[in-house]
Chains A and B, each alone.
Chain A
Amino acid sequence: MKTPGDFLADHVRAVPRSGIRDFFELVQKRGDVISLGIGEPDSSAPWGVREAAIYALEHGRTGYTSNLGSLKLRREISRYVEKIFGPSYNPETEILVSVGVSEAIDLALRAVLNPGETVIYHEPCYVSYAPSIALAHAKGRAIRTKPENGFRLNPAEVARAADGAKVLLLNFPTNPTGAVLSGPDLDALARICVEKDLLVISDEIYAELTYEGRHASIASRPGMRERTILLHGLSKAFAMTGFRIGYACAPAPLIEAMMKIHQYSILCAPTPSQEAATEALKEADTITEEARNTYRIRRDLLQRRLRDAGLPSIRAEGAFYLFVDIRGTGLSAREFAMGLLEEERVAVVPGEAFGPGGEGFVRCSYATSLDRLEVAADRIQRFMAKRKAGTPAGSVPATR
């Protein structure tokens, strides 16, 4: 007779438990922890946005919307995307509102991949990419981005990896490294995608949180609009994680295919959330500029304080993470994170949670108030000073 576990599908069983989840449970058990391990804004959604959701509820807007999302929201998305990302998308046929970008990634992969086809992605990367590819019965081909290049994606490596691949999955600015793609790299990458006939799925959720110059989307490059599924959402720059609103913009046949999966699995994104998102996009300039200014100050503070403590990080030009180089300590990323948690009650995420290329690094989120960042930096400094003095405390060995 089968045990419950025996009923599981092989490809689901093969997906490993998230490394972040293990660490989460450890942190949860302790009090007085300052967490730099949080991938969401520390503020609630702007009041005007919350108020729009309340208004929607008050007025009984609790039914379904179109599978693609309310047309009112898709019109706002179309207007906003053209302004921020460049290309223009028809709100009637080329935009799909999803439950966060996570759902849109899943829809995009499932809509275009046959079993066994190959997706190139860059790594260290967001934790869901490899599992989502596997759950779509496809094969992932990871390109390691390297610290010496600031974790930027080298277009030449994409060209080398492209043979036999169907999809290139991009995420710039990148969670966890904060890396962005420079203009020339984006041009080169676009040429390669056209030449090698790749479809690009581009997760640009951190687009507005770009601190040096403006965000540039691969979809804006010549020949790319027709072969790009552009993904974006309101979780990060609009501080709306719990509303779960993301969206996909792509040529109609691709959106139509994604919609088929979405309509049978989700039906539509929650209606009050869609109302809130519509309001947020109307106020986008104010909301995103304030977010950008706030995070820039925090990034500068944390990067400087950690560097002074002997912990350099790559130049983080986007998102709200520093990918901090801890190789100089002689500890593994997990040892570093465990030691820091046990001795100083500061939580960071070991880099290998984002793929093997993250070993030797920890991700520090600066989506936390300046006061708390200062305290965290003090504690990290103390942790480092103890190691310099040659008295590593607690159960953490000084060497690997």
Chain B
Amino acid sequence: MDALLQILREKGRATPAELARLTGKTEKEVESALKKYEADRVILGYHAVLDPDKTGHGGVRAVIEVRITPERDGGFDRIAARVARYPEVVSCQLMSGGYDLLITVEGPDLKQVATFVAEKLSTIQGVISTATHFQLKTYKEAGVLFLEDERAERLAISP
């Protein structure tokens, strides 16, 4: 992987100046490389990973297993895209196994998520059934551990 992408994966907030320093490129080169990655949709976004318990805007999250009827043209794609466009839907994936779509939905409270499922999701033509599981606690997300990891001390100098 390009060093630029490797660094960004861990330090999404790095400025072009910082990235230039870290990779030995000029700031201009970094900016144009980033533009190209964004245009080619290699880089899809830059996000902070928040601990909802600490932001004060926790809300609720549910993962929902959705069974849908595939269509003659395009299989699951059209319905999946319809579902995915809702802003409440944080992620949406086609799965193998006992159901078809696994979606993650976020809302301010339990009632609103339930309403979204009952009134919007379930009523889409082609959706056969839904099974909603509310999240109770997050231990890891987007590669970030939510547990306080104890940092082991190293010797200050070793051979």
Question: What are the residues of chain B within 8 A of A347 when measuring CB–CB?
Answer: 156-157
A44 in contact with B157 given A297-B7, A301-B21, A374-B21 (CB within 8 Å): no
Q: Is the CB of B7 within 8 A of A370?
A: yes
State how many angstroms separate the Cβ of B158 from the closest Cβ of chain A. Answer: 5
In angstroms, Cα B139 to Cα A168, docked, is: 52
B1 at the interface (CB under 8 A from A): yes
Interface residues on A, range: 20 to 34
A185 at the interface (CB under 8 A from B): no
Q: Is the CB of A24 within 8 A of B157?
A: yes
How many residue-residue contacts, CB under 8 A, span A and B?
A: 60
B39 at the interface (CB under 8 A from A): no
A interface with B by C-beta (< 8 Å): 18, 20, 23-24, 27-28, 33, 35, 37-40, 42, 44, 126-128, 175, 293, 296-297, 300-301, 304-305, 347, 349, 353, 370, 374
The residue that A297 contacts in the complex, of B3, B154, B156, B157, with Cβ under 8 A, is: B3
Question: What are the residues of chain A within 8 A of B158 when measuring CB–CB?
Answer: 20, 24, 37-40
A37 in contact with B157 given A300-B24, A370-B7, A370-B22 (CB within 8 Å): yes
Q: Is the CB of A24 within 8 A of B1?
A: no
Q: Is the CB of B155 within 8 A of A297?
A: no
Question: What are the residues of chain B within 8 A of A293 when measuring CB–CB?
Answer: 1, 6
What are the 9 closest A-B residue pairs judged by CB atoms, nearest first? A37-B157, A24-B157, A27-B156, A127-B159, A39-B158, A35-B156, A20-B159, A297-B3, A39-B159
The residue that A28 contacts in the complex, of B11, B21, B24, B156, with Cβ under 8 A, is: B156
In angstroms, Cα B3 to Cα A353, docked, is: 34
In angstroms, Cα B39 to Cα A29, docked, is: 52
B interface with A by C-beta (< 8 Å): 1, 3, 6-7, 11, 21-24, 152, 154-159
- Would you give 14 A-B contacts (Cβ < 8 Å), ordered by A? A35-B154, A38-B155, A39-B158, A39-B159, A40-B158, A42-B154, A126-B159, A293-B6, A297-B6, A297-B7, A301-B22, A301-B24, A370-B7, A370-B11
Q: Is the CB of A20 within 8 A of B6?
A: no
In angstroms, Cα B152 to Cα A252, docked, is: 39
Question: What are the residues of chain A within 8 A of B157 when measuring CB–CB?
Answer: 20, 23-24, 27, 35, 37-38, 347, 349
Question: What are the residues of chain B within 8 A of A20 when measuring CB–CB?
Answer: 157-159
State how many angstroms separate the Cβ of A334 from the closest Cβ of chain B. Answer: 14
Chain A: CB-nearest residue to B10: A370
Q: Is the CB of B159 within 8 A of A128?
A: yes
